[in-house]
């Protein structure tokens, strides 16, 4: 099939790789413009661009797609059968959506209609889903509202955000390769989404990682796991920002004030949360690497009675 691929972050790389390995012709790879990092000292390619260049594919990086007549003419001239979009980062206009013979399809990291939006992976963990997955949908003009084509489920278990990202990226790539020939052969019946069952996972901001110790240990542990590696779950520890990277809820209850450090030792740091106890086993303080609590305590102290905020 004559394809155009649109994507930007690491999650999209697996899909592009799978398409090339499966023998699909990728006429163009469209990704976001390069960004300067380190205060403008070095330009950073998007992960998708790096992978595309490895394969010698033609990369386009328009500042915008909407209203871009030059890009539209390039796409018309190539005349793709389908466009595959994975976390591209811009909303596509109607003239692009309707250009390919089979339209544009999106590989989305949730079981739609649940968790539409920009951060379905982290939110699947934070909101307590036991199972998530990948949905391939026909793109429309709404945000993740198009008809569903195929799905695959992934059990979350104890995975953190990074692990679930990788598992879904792999599952999505496999599903896309299976879906393309079925779609081309007319073997898929699109299924409309039930909007009444939809939930939304908006963009995550750094401040969203601030821990509220009035919440239950279960909720806080999910926040810690879901926001690993970014933005990280954090609190104020004696005026310093302490990140909590690993924790286990317990069934123990306490009457201590929320955020109180009950004890800190080889088994971890016990914290009062919502009338119960959370055991934190891995932390990070400014300027240091993340370490097990027991290792941190070899050269530092965490006093019982300290209030984390």
Domains of the chain and any CATH numbers? 2-201 (3.40.50.170), 206-296 (3.10.25.10)
Question: How far, CA to CA in Å, does 107 sit from each of 133, 144, 267, 285?
Answer: 11, 10, 42, 37
Vertex 223, ends 218 and 227: CA angle to 5°?
Answer: 150
Side-chain half-sphere of 205: how many Cα atoms within 13 Å?
3
**Torsion angle of the four alpha carbons 136, 117, 45, 33, in this order, in degrees rounded to the nearest 10:** 100
pLDDT of residue 40: 61
Cα separation of 224 and 216, whole Å? 12
**pLDDT for res 38:** 64
Write the CA distances from 11 to 8, 158, 170, integer angstroms. Answer: 8, 20, 9
Tell me the whole-structure pTM to 2 decimals. 0.95
Question: Can you spell out the DSSP letters for 271-284?
Answer: EEETTEEEEEEEEE
Query: Residue 146: how many CB atoms within 10 A of its CB?
Result: 24
Radius of gyration of the chain (CA): 23
**What pLDDT is stored for residue 142 in this prediction?**
81
In the predicted model, residues of the chain with pLDDT beneath 70 are: 37-41
- Given a contact cutoff of 8 angstroms between Cβ atoms, the answer to whether 51 and 17 are in contact is yes
Residue owning tokens 């595309």? 52
Task: Provide the pLDDT for residue 143.
Answer: 85
Element (H, E) at 221: helix 217-226
Q: Name the residue among 307, 308, 303, 281 with its Cα closest to residue 211.
A: 308
Residue 174's H or E segment, with its range, is helix 161-184
Task: Read off the tokens for 113.
Answer: 């209609």
Backbone angles phi, psi at 204, to 5 degrees: -90, 135
């Amino acid at each position: 099939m004559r394809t155009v691929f649109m994507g930007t972050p690491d999650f999209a790389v697996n899909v592009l790789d799978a398409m090339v390995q499966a023998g699909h012709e990728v006429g163009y790879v469209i990704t976001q413009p390069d960004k300067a990092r380190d205060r403008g000292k070095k330009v950073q390619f998007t992960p998708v661009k790096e992978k595309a260049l490895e394969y010698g594919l033609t990369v386009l990086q328009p500042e915008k797609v909407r209203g871009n007549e030059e890009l539209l003419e390039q796409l018309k001239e190539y005349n793709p059968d389908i466009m595959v979009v994975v976390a591209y980062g811009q909303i596509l206009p109607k003239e692009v959506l309707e250009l390919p013979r089979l339209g544009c399809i999106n590989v989305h990291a949730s079981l739609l209609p649940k968790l539409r939006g920009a951060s379905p992976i982290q939110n699947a963990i934070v909101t307590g889903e036991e199972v998530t997955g990948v949905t391939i949908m026909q793109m429309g003009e709404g945000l993740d509202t198009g008809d569903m084509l195929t799905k695959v489920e992934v059990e979350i278990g104890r995975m953190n955000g990074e692990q679930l990202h990788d598992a879904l990226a792999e599952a999505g790539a496999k599903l896309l390769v299976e879906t393309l020939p079925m779609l081309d052969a007319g073997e898929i019946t699109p299924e409309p989404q039930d909007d009444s069952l939809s939930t939304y996972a908006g963009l995550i901001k750094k401040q969203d990682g601030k821990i509220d110790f009035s919440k239950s240990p279960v909720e806080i542990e999910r926040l810690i796991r879901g926001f690993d590696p970014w933005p990280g779950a954090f609190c104020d520890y004696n005026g310093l920002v302490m990140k909590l990277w690993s924790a286990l809820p317990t069934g123990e209850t306490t009457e201590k004030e929320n955020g109180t450090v009950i004890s800190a030792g080889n088994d971890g740091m016990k914290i009062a949360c919502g009338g119960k106890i959370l055991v934190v086993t891995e932390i990070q303080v400014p300027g240091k690497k993340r370490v097990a609590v027991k290792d941190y305590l070899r050269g530092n102290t965490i006093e019982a009675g300290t209030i984390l905020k």
